[in-house]
Structure 1
């Protein structure tokens, strides 16, 4: 065997030539992982044109040799037997058989066109999953295809993870895309609410060495406090405040009340005195939090008043402190208010837009400006077909089951599912699965046939992250340490596989829609796409992303700016390049939004007590509804005191029942959960292939408007009331 190191971007043709010559050849290629926002550097070993191993890149300037189990295991998914390698058509008997691309695309185009002619463009819906955040080609061409059709029925995982955070940002900063990040490398205190960054590696944050940054706070004499109803890996590593699910908003209100009562700018450390945040709405905020003393909130949150006071005093006295929250705060009935109050706390303590506090990342490419150009920084322009719920930053609340089932204008007749699995990842998934069988057309675009695509008429196979060129623009404003790295193809995709942009480009041509990027939201790209097609050329993601990079503050302006970057220059830098950080030092923030603050007056309505409530949990080996190894724990965690009350023992089976459905699960007695709280990991289907006893826990969750945060429309997934009975 011959081993060589080749630069990133070397195609697989050399491997193919070696294989034809009867030689076995290996090479190692530096790249980076796009499973999550951490973007850890990887070293991919390729043998005879196939990925043989994925290891951490010890020379990567940002991740510095860290890579989670998912990043190491993704190669098995790419090369494994479950991967779809040619278009698949499902017969009436439910069996999938391989068909040609021409047959699949021709039939899909004809059927989509007929559905649009018969029922209108709004009858075609699309669900696009989280991988789109790391794949600009998928994101631009899929959404552009829907715009070309004329349909607003674009559904995403947003209602399950980000809507409240984006709505809060719109009310705070007048832009739903303006989301600050914690400057933990320079913090003296970190307050983490509803997040488990030692497992998730950060969300709405790019920081692959996140654990090191948190530990460094403690080593400097600071504190890291985790507020969560479950003793997660992060909570176990630091200080833990185990509050009742759904009461975070009132916990934060108590801290804000204390901060306002002790507001003395002269007593602040030099970093907080340097804050240039222009804070408005203080009087409305002061009035809203006034009733929430430590004692009042202690009884509401099931946390001692002494513990709340200790956290509050430490936060307001620290020279630089930062409150950070994520998915756990975005999945209850007061999600928008809780997310809003996180930034209010940072603002009133002088910790907004200062070193060591909550800062606005300085992206090499300005995503906030791009979002404003295409109208994704505002909310309320669209409403859901059923329930009349407002969209947030272009993301609709989860109403897809009702939109399919409810007759009348705009009833959904076709669904295109791209890199997603809503049957498992969204509320009332089993109901959705049944409804999919009644649609005129379901098309899947993905690597594998999952629980949703099992109901598809066609499944179209796509290239994996290591088989395409990629510059993941959507996450660049979340980087703790800004840098640019271009991923080039490590291996060639299987012969029968295409990239998502090619699929939607071909469908649009067959349907005579014009290029998918003809939408007026992207006028420059639309003109380029039409001109290209007129001369027999196609606009590609490479060209679109290259134009965005060239015109960014770090770009070369198509060769006019010396020292600027281009895709060509990035290809010569296989491990990327660090960008000088220039975080925003001045910001206007409104902490007096009356609608959001109004929720605080009704804790009984927005944080009611129940005998038992359900919350989810994460695993370092699993990502949402894919990559589910056998080793992941798929049991229901129950506190020992609750187990005694409900006559449960370790290993027994129990029925978990809600107002929407019921499931049977194995029990694990575990004091990591608070009393009255049970926990099951999201992302499993009913009897998943590697987990024959697993259940789809989201089948217990209602998709009705009453089961949503009333302000953002986000789904109510954590703190959902259930009963548990031994079988």
Structure 2
């Protein structure tokens, strides 16, 4: 009897690693189902690597709690309805609020999952424009805005250097634990294996972390730092490079402004002056600087831990300052720049010069928090709902994400969302956030969507392109994610309950093609837009826009200008991806988009904030216990805890604490403890370990799906607590507005 199995290949959409999957499907009387998922050994980027999460896409697709049809709340309870009724409910409930109070009576929140899905990446802007509100929030100000801003200030666009892991001799990791979570703003399948290959070829790996994390366990050196002081450490490293005559920016010196000002600005940060603050011996700090300078090639990489602290933008900026001073920026084996196939700001327009990025063009209504990249920080989200007056937020639209779980002072935000007059969520689950919604519009499962890492491949450690068509078809009556977003956008823009979504889709494709035709440095300058759209053929939806972007990108065929160039057709012919080669050196000055056409090594915002950092040296950093987060390879923020195979085994939501602190406080391993901050208190099991420095407690984020009304049967049974009950919406980095999740002062006590 012939086999009824089918093999499909796709890129895993669950995190930034972008691993290739080989999916075996078997026929059943009701259709195909996933039989097995393993790593795609022929994938040009991941070469068979896969973490435990990627194997569960079949479980995710079949999760009985994943919503298949829209939900509308009636008399406080959700009921399943068809799409027409769902959008009619939105029209009846949301539009009158906008008509009476204006568009700024609404807000939109964009969650992290949107960065891993092509439709939100291409259609979010259209939805935001249709809603017409100034109140725009996203998960970016929870975890990455400092890096986006520091890169924007230095290079003129959100062009983030990544460590050249495959060719470096020495890498320093701050605030990152790739053995648990691979990379972030650094797309690198099998990040752990890449670190091990650095060591195998005689190189070194140094991890700076208050915990002896999974990555620190395997590093050549673990530097245990006091939480929140990464900027102090990096400033001392930069100061040492300058004072000890080790700074060698090389050819980049002629393309850089502000180098001469750094030595004076960093005068307060000799290793001896910051040692007590960082909790690191001055000799270790000085040796780290000398090792970076002496290595044949080296790269410093900082991520979540360096962003989510009160000096997040300074720390993010100083990472690249150190890479610049050691001559390792834009150099093989150093910190390099990816070239995304679908194009990015650094590959468009006039090479080497641009308008740069402006921040603070507006401020939030209540606390005057500055805008960045068109969004206000999430630390201002709750107060915009709570505070009466003109512009008070009365209605909210969320696209993915779970801000009640992931945002600071979550109890406050939870109460604020409960007070709304209307809320719409595009989300597959009734979770801690969407339980407040009046309408939930569920997207299909990851296996029912196409995939291209439109944003994340701009931060890849190798230039690749990989497109995945849907593995499974939509269910009867199911709408694609793009169709949901365009219908909602059309309704909000005045198109009625059944707007002409094809016209909205055509406008998006036309605007992308027109922008490419206007670019006098691009491959289709002054080409007729109608001709370009005709050459795309009969593609629709996100694929139509993606094909235009690929064909007008740095590797594209230019709609016939380069017959061997990249198109979506070519990617479909290569299910394992197309390898576009290693990262290229000497991209500066061409990739710069600053008004000066030079690297701004000492941006104005950093000149002011470095004074705040210097003033903090006089602080007593030991006066309280402080909280840090942690990741686990089986977790993915808050939405993978409903998969039994990922949650089985020992309890992973524990408070890690050093034995000396446990003994002093009377805590016992496995017993419950109370952890309290200025804004909240939780009870959590104690895990005593010498793998964390004294004075620090660590609690993983993303747990606590046990609130009333949540419909996540597996996650609700897990003994988890939400660490963001403790994080403080008044404790943030003032430059970026990014919340400080690490270094939060807490008190800890046993529970009898």
TM-score where L is the length of structure 1: 0.90
Partner of 1:61: 44
Counterpart pick for 1:381 among 332, 357, 361 = 361
Counterpart pick for 1:590 among 591, 594, 600 = 600
Deviation at 1:418, TM superposition (A): 1.3
Deviation at 1:116, TM superposition (A): 0.9
Deviation at 1:170, TM superposition (A): 2.1
Partner of 2:68: 85
DSSP 3-state at the match of 1:723: strand
The answer to whether residue 23 in structure 2 is matched with residue 44 in structure 1 is yes
Deviation at 1:361, TM superposition (A): 1.3
Distance 2:420 2:547 in 1: 39
Distance 1:478 1:546 in 2: 20
Distance 1:511 1:361 in 2: 37
Contact 2:673 / 2:685 at 8 angstroms: preserved in 1? yes
The answer to whether residue 736 in structure 2 is matched with residue 712 in structure 1 is yes
Contact 2:626 / 2:743 at 8 angstroms: preserved in 1? yes
The answer to whether residue 642 in structure 2 is matched with residue 641 in structure 1 is no
The answer to whether residue 293 in structure 2 is matched with residue 322 in structure 1 is no
Partner of 1:658: 677
Deviation at 1:638, TM superposition (A): 0.9
Partner of 1:8: none
Contact 1:470 / 1:488 at 8 angstroms: preserved in 2? yes
The answer to whether residue 86 in structure 2 is matched with residue 73 in structure 1 is no
Deviation at 1:67, TM superposition (A): 0.5
Q: Quickly say closer, same or farther: Cα 1:371–1:635, change in 2 above 3 A.
A: farther
Deviation at 1:366, TM superposition (A): 2.3
Q: Quickly say closer, same or farther: Cα 1:520–1:57, change in 2 above 3 A.
A: closer
Counterpart pick for 1:201 among 182, 190, 211 = 182
Contact 2:669 / 2:688 at 8 angstroms: preserved in 1? yes
Aligned-pair RMSD on alpha carbons?
A: 2.6
Partner of 1:34: 13
DSSP 3-state at the match of 1:570: helix
DSSP 3-state at the match of 2:211: coil
Gaps of at least 5 residues in structure 2 are 496-502, 516-528, 590-597, 642-646, 708-713
Matches within 5 A, 1:306-321: 306-321=283-298
Partner of 2:519: none
The answer to whether residue 683 in structure 2 is matched with residue 673 in structure 1 is no
Counterpart pick for 1:279 among 251, 256, 264 = 256
Contact 1:146 / 1:152 at 8 angstroms: preserved in 2? no
Partner of 2:111: 129
Deviation at 1:443, TM superposition (A): 1.4
The answer to whether residue 313 in structure 2 is matched with residue 300 in structure 1 is no
Q: Quickly say closer, same or farther: Cα 1:508–1:713, change in 2 above 3 A.
A: closer
Contact 2:174 / 2:306 at 8 angstroms: preserved in 1? yes
Partner of 2:625: 612
Post-superposition, which runs of at least 4 consecutive aligned residues in structure 1 deviate over 6 A?
370-376, 517-522, 525-529
Partner of 1:487: 468
Deviation at 1:309, TM superposition (A): 2.5
Contact 1:556 / 1:563 at 8 angstroms: preserved in 2? yes
Deviation at 1:480, TM superposition (A): 1.2
Q: State the aligned residue count.
A: 692
Deviation at 1:384, TM superposition (A): 2.1
DSSP 3-state at the match of 1:249: helix
Deviation at 1:608, TM superposition (A): 4.0
Contact 1:207 / 1:479 at 8 angstroms: preserved in 2? yes
Deviation at 1:301, TM superposition (A): 1.0
Deviation at 1:686, TM superposition (A): 5.0
Partner of 1:703: 729
Q: Quickly say closer, same or farther: Cα 1:354–1:547, change in 2 above 3 A.
A: same
Partner of 1:341: 318
Counterpart pick for 1:365 among 342, 347, 354 = 342
Counterpart pick for 1:153 among 120, 123, 135 = 135
The answer to whether residue 372 in structure 2 is matched with residue 392 in structure 1 is yes
Deviation at 1:583, TM superposition (A): 2.4
Distance 2:246 2:399 in 1: 52
The answer to whether residue 253 in structure 2 is matched with residue 229 in structure 1 is no
Q: Quickly say closer, same or farther: Cα 1:163–1:358, change in 2 above 3 A.
A: same
Matches within 5 A, 1:134-213: 134-175=116-157, 177-213=158-194
Partner of 2:644: none
The answer to whether residue 75 in structure 2 is matched with residue 98 in structure 1 is no
Q: Deviations over 1:524-546 (max 9, x none)?
A: 469999x99xxxx9962111111
Distance 1:277 1:134 in 2: 38
Decide which moves more: 368-377 or 69-78.
368-377
Distance 1:653 1:300 in 2: 31
Distance 1:59 1:286 in 2: 49
Contact 2:57 / 2:447 at 8 angstroms: preserved in 1? no
Contact 1:353 / 1:359 at 8 angstroms: preserved in 2? yes
Deviation at 1:456, TM superposition (A): 1.2
Q: Deviations over 1:450-496 (max 9, x none)?
A: 11111111111111222122322112221111111111011012324
Q: Deviations over 1:22-45 (max 9, x none)?
A: xxx321111110111111010112
Gaps of at least 5 residues in structure 1 are 4-24
Q: Quickly say closer, same or farther: Cα 1:602–1:350, change in 2 above 3 A.
A: same
Q: Quickly say closer, same or farther: Cα 1:363–1:714, change in 2 above 3 A.
A: same
Deviation at 1:243, TM superposition (A): 0.8
Q: Quickly say closer, same or farther: Cα 1:563–1:85, change in 2 above 3 A.
A: same
Decide which moves more: 337-346 or 475-484.
475-484
The answer to whether residue 465 in structure 2 is matched with residue 455 in structure 1 is no
Partner of 1:290: 267
TM-score where L is the length of structure 2: 0.87
Counterpart pick for 2:99 among 110, 114, 117 = 117
Distance 2:697 2:444 in 1: 39
Partner of 1:502: 483
Distance 1:216 1:556 in 2: 35
Distance 1:723 1:112 in 2: 43
Q: Deviations over 1:118-164 (max 9, x none)?
A: 11111121111112112231233233112123112221111111111
Counterpart pick for 1:406 among 359, 379, 387 = 387
Contact 2:130 / 2:493 at 8 angstroms: preserved in 1? no
Contact 1:82 / 1:448 at 8 angstroms: preserved in 2? yes
Q: Deviations over 1:275-317 (max 9, x none)?
A: 5773321232111222322222221111122222222221111
Deviation at 1:420, TM superposition (A): 0.8
Deviation at 1:217, TM superposition (A): 2.1
Contact 1:145 / 1:516 at 8 angstroms: preserved in 2? no
Distance 1:641 1:521 in 2: 61
Contact 1:485 / 1:574 at 8 angstroms: preserved in 2? yes
Contact 1:337 / 1:599 at 8 angstroms: preserved in 2? no
Decide which moves more: 214-223 or 310-319.
214-223
